[in-house]
């Protein structure tokens, strides 16, 4: 199982803060994005947005990063501040 988290406006847009997924999640960020995109238009919009950031176990990664059982994968919009 992996834990998938959604933060900030993505949590509100999807109406979901967390999912637990098994093998259906695939073994890369790219395959997870595709699985989640297939859940509907709002999901696809978040997963395909060019600035969506992804972290595995609190480390920002690219779409080709591997996902293993027990990992925590987080999707969040770019962070800004001042």
DSSP 7-55: -HHHHHHHT-SEEEE-GGG-SBHHHHHHHHHTT-HHHHHHHH-TT-EEE
Average pLDDT for 19-37? 95
Average pLDDT for 35-39? 96
Output the pLDDT for position 79. 77
Domain ranges of the chain: 2-76
Burial of 43-71, coded b for 16+ CB within 10 Å and e otherwise, reads beebbeeeeeebbbeeeebeeebebeeee
Confidence of residue 11 (pLDDT cuts 50, 70, 90): very high
Neighbours of 79 (CB within 10 A): 8
Confidence of residue 12 (pLDDT cuts 50, 70, 90): very high
CATH value of 2-76 in 1.10.3720.10, 3.40.430.10, 3.80.10.10, 3.10.20.30: 3.10.20.30
Average pLDDT for 15-29? 94
Confidence of residue 82 (pLDDT cuts 50, 70, 90): low
What is the pTM assigned to this prediction?
0.92
């Amino acid at each position: 199982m992996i834990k998938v988290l959604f933060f900030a406006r993505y949590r509100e847009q999807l109406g979901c803060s967390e999912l637990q997924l098994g093998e259906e999640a695939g073994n890369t960020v790219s395959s997870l994005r595709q699985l989640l995109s297939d859940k509907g238009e709002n999901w696809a919009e978040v997963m395909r947005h060019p600035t969506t950031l992804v972290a595995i176990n609190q480390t920002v990664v690219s779409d080709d990063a591997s996902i293993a059982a027990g990992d925590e994968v987080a999707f969040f919009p770019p962070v800004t501040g001042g």
